[in-house]
Amino acid sequence: MRAPDPLIGRDLLNGQFQIIRKIGTGGMGAVYEASQPSMNSKVAVKILHAKLANRKDLVSRFHREAAAMSHLTHPNTVKVLLYGEEEKDGLLYIVMEYLEGKNLNQTVRADGPLPPERALPMLIQACLALQEAHEKGIVHRDLKPENIFLCTQGGIKDFVKVLDFGLAKVTEREMRPGSIILTQEGMVFGTPEFMSPEQAQGKTLDARSDIYSLAVILYEVLTGKLPFDAKSPMEFIQLHVQKEPIPLSQRVPGKTFPPELDAAMAKALRKEKEDRQESAAEFAADLQRSLDVLQGRTPAPSAPPAPHLQRVSGAPAPNAGLDTATPDPPARKLSMTFLVLAFVLGAGLAAAIAVLALRR
């Protein structure tokens, strides 16, 4: 029998918050539901595992996630209310808005592949949330269905909240003074099924890597399948780098999509980032045109490519760490986060030297 969680019932910040129950857990910490008596409301509190509190690198990741998320104000990004460290025992916490609903992975598991009329508005919202992050020099780097949460807000169903900037790459101007640089060139963090080719190779990332990941998410939401047939995480990584994806309308026998959507997805899944949409906003516009066609509206003409967003480059990429925990659904067979040191020879992935699985 497991020992009771010592954090249940604990007060934070001199009684401002009281932890009620654990919502879920990740490789580095856990997320709890907590009450806020003064506001008669609930919040979510992310707490770093106590056993990791003496790891300066992980503590720095935790702070960096909080700092990255606190700069984001888009309504489709989960809102960080405050973050810090308890003076009496060094407990590290992030207080966020409390969300009720399901993540996109849970939704597809329950409902099956979603019709594009429902799926496209979700991904458009996610694009717009990421656009703000990219404009602030933040690349998410771990987009997957588990990190896109669906709730009802203001009476609007399927309202999207993008979660878990725990692996976010943040520019130097967004970093706290004294933050430890955690990621070196050639180190890869993310989830193999949804990695961009450049991420799988440990290359410098920008907004277009997140666009690739969003396209893989949408592909799975629409078809129930990924763009490649693979039997292992390492094979997913190799295929992202080496093989062209199966075209969307060829993935499931008897299921086709508007040519506009096929074209938008094919562009977002190009191997070379220079060949993809330039921004999340441009990808959102392509998806909106596809939705207009599906709903019988005349789509707006394609806009010229957006100017390049500020590229996130220069210093080695920091890694902000803690996985956002979600209620534990049946585990995705290959949905885990891997740390891979990858070397690329010629056109392909020659060897993967280290693999560290972080339990989702």
Residues with catalytic function: 142
User: What does the alpha-carbon distance between residue 5 and residue 94 come to, in Å, rounded to a whole number?
Assistant: 18
Q: Phi, psi (5° rounding) for residue 333?
A: -50, -40
**What totals of helices (H) and strands (E) does the chain contain, helices first?**
8, 14
Cβ neighbours of 84 (radius 10 Å):
14
Cβ neighbours of 14 (radius 10 Å):
8
Cα three-residue angle 16-18-24, rounded to 5 degrees: 130
Q: Please check whether residue 103 is in contact with residue 147, taking contact to mean a CB–CB distance below 8 angstroms.
A: yes
114: closest CA among 223, 194, 213? 223
Burial of 199 from C-beta contacts in 10 A (0-12 / 13-18 / 19+): buried
